[in-house]
Amino acid sequence: MIKDKGKFYTFEGIDGCGKSTQLVRVAERLRAVGVSCVVTREPGGAPISEKIRELLMAPIPSDKAQMCVETELLLYLAARAQHVSEIIVPAINRGETVLCDRFEQATFAYQGGGRGLDMEKIRSINDFATNGLMPDMTFIIDIPVEISQERLNKLGKGKDRMESAGVDFFERVRKAYINAATADPYGIKLLDGTMSMDELTNEIFEVISCVKA
């Protein structure tokens, strides 16, 4: 018997938006109703991709050996290519539901909106990396940049390369996320990240319950 393919959901938003917490809560709700879930993340999710993540998340080096934006883009997409082929597609083919912390919309928002790289070029390389795989639904949890910065400061840990990019950068990233949701209201659900955690989980779960088999 051929198994039905699983669904693929991605969770997005600027740093500190609460997407990772929501992803875990939604996975718990799905498992409680008997849905088998794979929880994963980008950059990362597969051994080679996690190695690439270490490079990408390292703090800015003091020796001026800065990573150029093209290298950054290609590393995110190299990590994605491995993750898609090794983890995501096999899980979907086994009929499991995949919940992924960030995916292509992060690249459009951070490298396109934030870094200013050409969106069409990004789309084309992303398409190569994913072999055309697209999420069944993307959830963007939107919060103002001030709240994001407050939350990151409260964590009290050193900022990684992306987190230290500054307020203007995050304003551009947030705008790109909002624009993406406006352009694709059926594929991307924009959620108000200032709602309570329970309200957010309920809303995401309701949308997932309505996605057609």
Interaction site with ligand TMP (CB under 6 A): 15, 41-43, 76, 101-102, 106-107, 110-111, 162-163
Tokens of 14: 């600027």
Minimum Å gap between C-beta 43 and ligand TMP is 5
| Burial status of residue 76 (CB atoms within 10 A of its CB: 0-12, 13-18, 19 or more) | buried
Minimum Å gap between C-beta 176 and ligand TMP is 11
Q: Which is nearer to ligand TMP, 96 or 101 (CB)?
A: 101
Give, as one character, the DSSP assignment of residue 140.
E
Minimum Å gap between C-beta 15 and ligand TMP is 5
Residues in the chain: 213
Distance CA 46, CA 81 (A): 10
Minimum Å gap between C-beta 65 and ligand TMP is 19
Whole-Å CA distances, 28 to 169, 175, 178: 33, 31, 27
Tokens of 109: 């928002």
Q: Which is nearer to ligand TMP, 96 or 104 (CB)?
A: 104
Q: Which is nearer to ligand TMP, 35 or 171 (CB)?
A: 171
Minimum Å gap between C-beta 199 and ligand TMP is 22
Q: Which is nearer to ligand TMP, 43 or 193 (CB)?
A: 43
CA dihedral 20→26→29→31, nearest 10 degrees, is: -80
Q: Which is nearer to ligand TMP, 6 or 114 (CB)?
A: 114
SS3 of residue 188 by DSSP: strand
Distance CA 120, CA 123 (A): 5
